[in-house]
Structure 1
Amino acid sequence: MTASKKRILVLDGLRGLAILLVLLFHGYSVWDAYYPYKRQFSEIILFKYGSLGVQLFFLISGFVILMSVEKTPNYWKFLKNRWIRLFPSMLICSLLVYLTASFFYERPFGIPELKSLLPGITFINNGILEMIFKTDFPVLELSFWSLYVEVKFYIIFGALYFMFNRNIALLGIFLLYLSACILQIFIFHNLIHESGLLKTYIGSFIHFGWFVAGALTYMYYQKPDKKTLLAIIFTVVCSLFYAYKFQDLILLIYLIAVNLVFFAALFWEKFGAIFCTRLFTFIGFISYPLYLLHENMLIASIIKIHNYFPQIPYFLLPILSSIFIIILAYIVAKYLEPVVQKQLKKII
């Protein structure tokens, strides 16, 4: 296996780990008001902090996007490639969520309106659309928030990269993170008031540090040197301050562990081999549609299965529900998404 092929497998496996952590979080912890088992599992550390799988996604994205942008001739080609990568699954999954909502009526977010599709398919978060159109845009899937952050990163990083160079682009992204982090700390200590505009700014950029850490890791992967390694350590330490407002030591330790897993998988061959196994790479392959589909559908399925089969042990309910959504995500990733992508490539 070539080094490039092995790297892609490891990244797919890490995506698999990231979505599994998010599934555990949503299936056992955060929606305790809806689970038939309530808070029985919600304080288990693996589940309680599983949302940090999103930070792992951001680290992977930073790595992959720098790798991608360096192979792309211009900014518009880069944006087109990213849009063709993201839009088909977002469109398909948004329609699936919308059209099946009446069947999964137990959804925490209720039955969505047609206009709830707009934030997802435009990759513009609800709050910004509400400010533009002066009307509400009810949430279709809360999990979509991370895609809105990713798209902002693509647009800004790509522009800076092609206008200037790699170092300026990374510095610009990092400064956006630092400004958002400082503002968040000021708000936490009541030094400034949190206006709607500040909230949008912070929400847009508070995770950008992870993209920079991932991009620097790609640079170190390509050409190991002490300067880049120190830059990675500095960036990761600074990025940890995004969690300052939570004042939670266990969350911080979990977040450090997620970073260590990411780096170890890429630079320690025996450890990385774990994420090259079929389980992790398969889940990684379907991770994008699985992420888009899972949250409300997972909770509704847990409730349905329990109502029809109350004898099934509580712990198994999220697992059984996830199997159904995994099959659906596989159909999207394997068969539906490539068809839409192929058509878009012909048109654009």
Structure 2
Amino acid sequence: MKSERSVGIDCLRAISIIWVLLYHFVPVQAFNRGTFGVLLFFIISGYCIAFSAETSQTAWHFSAKRLGRLLPALIVCGFLTTLFKILAPELVESGRGLKWAHYVYTLIALPTLNVLQVNYNLPDGAYWSLQIEFQFYFFCFLMMVIGLKQRLLALLCAVTIFRTLTTSTDYYTSNDFFPFFIAGMSVAALVRGRTGEAIAGILVAFSVELYHLKFNVKQPSVPLEMYRSLLLWSGTAAVYLAARYDHVLPRSFRALAFIGVISYPLYLLHQDVGNMILRWAQIGRDTASDLFVRSFVLPAFLAAIAWLVYAFVEKPAIKPLTALLADPVAWFRQWRPQGAGRGYPTAEHSGDIARQ
């Protein structure tokens, strides 16, 4: 069966996560813009979500696919991070301590956009980007609920422009991240042959980003700068090239693509756990051996853990969990004992349910 994954897009995911890892672990000036790796993830997310929404039968089916994709690794990686922090609190960075209640509530707060307005600590500092992602998913879900699935890109552009023009430049919001989702969705439209819609979306994304730059809009992690706009432009082009010419990539790219395949659990695990490992091993920042450990040994170790999470949790759980969330009644009927008149579903059948 032909793989549903794109080698080109997975290569870009790999570049994104490597970028973030180098930012967090390697104290070199060239890697001091780690947010850019996350922004490239956002462009990729916009591209992929456009197709996910298009193939979703209902708004709930769309949400089931998103939750089925994100929850398995999030549950396990969040559990591991919380466990490590509780077992070795002396290794935890000041202000990054965690309780089990915070971990449990994270699994509720992220999909619901913290509707209960509870103060809590995220298991890992990198989870902030999931808060932005879920805002994007909620917008798509809401538009699909009211029957506007075919106008997602146009509506996202309109809402982003409205929010940008009506929000104070001194107030931290997620506004300045949405042009990256728009750019990704525009690339998807371009690949689908909807050239006019795609060009309009790209113009909106670039224009809003330049607005943020010109008026010095506040951003909670790093100041807005021209380099960020360059990342938006080059990242949009890179996603288009990766999607359009995926079939001509040489096999040598598959090693890089593998890092992209495990990029999600690797992203969830890397920051706080990685820094705890560095403190435990007493790895400094100055010597050549320190830089070698930070650049290669630690990322490889974290990647090995991420692969285990992917292979034994994420990959086998995505389709069954998606099927369960999409239609719980049908899922449980398929798993009735044989004596009740039905046999257990085959793996192929379960996969069919997940893909609907």
- Which band: TM-score by shorter chain? 0.7 to 0.9
Percent identical among aligned pairs is 21
Equivalent residue of 1:207, what SS?
A: helix
Q: Is the 8 A contact 1:59 1:211 kept in 2?
A: yes
Asked if 1:117 corresponds to 2:103, the answer is: yes
3-state SS of 1:320 partner: helix
Greater Cα offset, 257-266 or 325-334? 257-266
Match of 1:335 among 301, 312, 316: 312
Higher mean alpha-carbon deviation, 276-285 vs 60-69, is at 276-285
Aligned partner of 1:237 in structure 2 is 206
1:93 Cα deviation from its structure 2 partner: 0.7
**Partner of residue 257, structure 2:** 281
Query: Which is worse superposed, 92-101 or 252-261?
Result: 252-261
Pairing 1:323–2:308 present: no
247 and 22 in structure 1: CA distance in 2 versus 1, 3 angstrom threshold:
closer
Q: How many residues in Structure 1 have an aligned counterpart in Structure 2? A: 314
> What is the correspondence of 1:13-162 to structure 2 with a 5 Å cutoff?
13-29=11-27, 41=28, 43-44=29-30, 47-101=31-85, 102-103=87-88, 105-108=90-93, 109-124=95-110, 128=114, 132-133=117-118, 136-162=119-145
Write out aligned runs for 1:304-315 (5 A).
Answer: 304-307=280-283, 313-315=289-291
Letter paired with 2:304? I
1:292-340 Cα shifts (integer Å, max 9, x gaps)? 1111112222233345999762321222111111011100011122444
Amino acid at match of 1:238: S
User: Which whole-Å CA distance do the structure 1 matches of 2:313 and 2:38 have between them?
Assistant: 25
TM-score (norm 2): 0.76
Matched-pair contact (CA < 8 Å) for 2:7–2:246? no
Match for residue 214 of structure 1?
A: 184
The DSSP-based 3-state class of the residue aligned with 1:233 is: helix
Paired amino acid for 1:233: I
Unaligned residue ranges in structure 1 (runs of 5+): 30-40, 189-193
CA contact (8 A) 2:53 2:149 kept: no
- Give 2:159's match in structure 1, choosing from 151, 172, 176: 176
2:275 to 282, 299, 310: 299
Of 151-160 and 287-296, deviating more is: 151-160
Which range moves more in the overlay, 238-247 or 136-145? 238-247
Q: 2:197 aligns with which of 199, 203, 228?
A: 228
Q: Are 1:12 and 2:10 an aligned pair? A: yes
Query: Taking structure 1 as reference, are residues 10 and 98 closer, same or farther at Cα in structure 2, changes over 3 Å only?
Result: same
Distance 1:339 1:156, change over 3 A: same
Alpha carbon RMSD of aligned pairs, Å? 3.2
User: What are structure 2's unaligned runs of at least 5 residues?
Assistant: 218-222, 329-356
* Closer/same/farther in 2, CA of residues 12 and 309 from structure 1, 3 Å limit: closer
